[in-house]
Amino acid sequence: MQEATFLILTALADGSQHGYGIIAQVGEISGGRVRLRAGTLYTALDRLRADGLIGVDREEIVDGRLRRYYRLTPAGRKLLAAEAARLHAHATAALTRLNLAGGVA
Amino acid sequence: MTESERLERGYRRIVACYPRSFRRESEEEIVAVLMATAQPGQRRVSLAEYADLIRGALRMHRGPRLPRPLLVAVRLTYVGAAAELAVLTTLLMTLASLTSARIGSYPVISAAQWHAVLLGHLTAVAVGAPVLMALWAWMACANARGHPAGRVAFRVVHVIITLGVIAEVDPSLAQYGLGAAIAAAIMIQVQLAAIWLIFYPSADPLPYRPHRQLDAAQH
């Protein structure tokens, strides 16, 4: 799973978000390191919807602009949990080996 | 025209490069996000935004909007079609030796008769392969769009595959022995894998139904 995909799914883990909200959440989750652009975001959203990992929750018109809210589907939640566990296991293994080799720099 | 309107027009000009289906559904949404993420006082589309949007447009034009299992299923279908083409080519190339071998086994039937019988079989394969390939591709698309005909087609294709299995044990192909059996086994496995993928996940084979989801949300 690509990092942007992982971060988008993570942004939706605790509730539905609209496009701008996802960009803001991804920036926050990554500590400002990942700055999603609209083109990248909508390519990913299109793919994730096609794969059944996210769905449309609702729509709103705010200041004359359309806001479409996305939510994780059960399949998306399951995939995110599995990916998070996998990354966690890898990170734990890396840190353990670094410690064994003489401590983290 | 204000600076904001000029910027929005610039965004819309690039978004016009996206597929029509995407624009119909999401143009207003993506323009809203672009306007929200624009820098204060920004007058025109930045180079980075331009590159990002063009890349997104190219990706959406390149790939069909099918669920990944269906995409794999369609690719498997092409593999199956290629295997059928390989079988057809092999049959055509070895038609002469096959005919003479048949004549040796059944001297009562003339060479012309055997040739006609084998050609009849080959014609069926030659017509059937592209028809099956087109049917599989259409079925994948129909299922992806939630078209009920996709499921009906699946039943039909399932019968065709079963008949295909029976055809593979046709005694007229016995000359090819182990090779034909292996080729048939591979093709059947590929087709069965495609069937499984088309109906994966079985609980919700139609995950991409944006308009239905929106309709449901609005009512």
Tell whether B30 and B115 lie within a shared domain: no
Q: Which long-range contacts (CB under 8 A, 24 or more apart) does B5-13 make?
A: B6/B43, B6/B44, B7/B35, B7/B38, B7/B42, B7/B43, B7/B44, B7/B45, B8/B35, B10/B44, B10/B45, B11/B35, B11/B45, B11/B49, B11/B53
CA distance B132 to B141: 14
Contacts A72 to B, Cβ<8 Å: none
Tell whether B41 and B74 lie within a shared domain: no
Contacts B59 to A, Cβ<8 Å: 43
| Phi/psi at A14 (5° precision) | -105, 15
Considering only CA atoms, which of A16, A23, A73, A21 is closest in space to residue A48?
Answer: A73
Considering only CA atoms, which of B64, B217, B202 is closest in space to residue A71?
Answer: B217
Query: What is the pLDDT, as a whole number, of residue B9?
Result: 93
pLDDT digits 0-9 by tens, A26-37: 999 999 899 999
User: B84 in a domain, yes or no?
Assistant: yes
3 state SS of A61: strand
CA A97 to chain centre: 28
Share of chain B above pLDDT 90, in %: 16
Cis peptide, bond prior to residue B201, ω within 30 of zero: yes
pTM of the model: 0.56
Domains of chain A, CATH where assigned:
3-100 (1.10.10.10)
Test B29 with A67 for CB contact under 8 angstroms.
yes
| A-to-B residue pairs, Cβ atoms closer than 8 angstroms | 90
Tell whether B95 and B151 lie within a shared domain: yes
Closest chain A C-alpha to B4 CA, distance in angstroms: 14
Tell whether B82 and B179 lie within a shared domain: yes
Of A81-90, B65-74, B115-124, the least confident: B65-74
Test B65 with A55 for CB contact under 8 angstroms.
no
Test B29 with A56 for CB contact under 8 angstroms.
no
- Residue B35 touches chain A, beta carbons under 8 Å: yes
Tell whether B56 and B79 lie within a shared domain: no
Query: What is the pLDDT, as a whole number, of residue B216?
Result: 41
Tell whether B38 and B113 lie within a shared domain: no
User: B210 in a domain, yes or no?
Assistant: no
User: B207 in a domain, yes or no?
Assistant: no
Tell whether B34 and B106 lie within a shared domain: no
User: B80 in a domain, yes or no?
Assistant: yes
pLDDT digits 0-9 by tens, B153-199: 766 766 666 666 666 555 555 555 566 667 667 767 776 776 676 66
Tell whether B90 and B128 lie within a shared domain: yes
Tell whether B51 and B120 lie within a shared domain: no
pLDDT digits 0-9 by tens, B49-107: 999 999 999 888 765 555 666 667 666 766 766 666 676 677 667 766 766 666 666 66
Decide if pLDDT at A60 tops 60: yes
Give the domain range for residue B37. Answer: 3-62
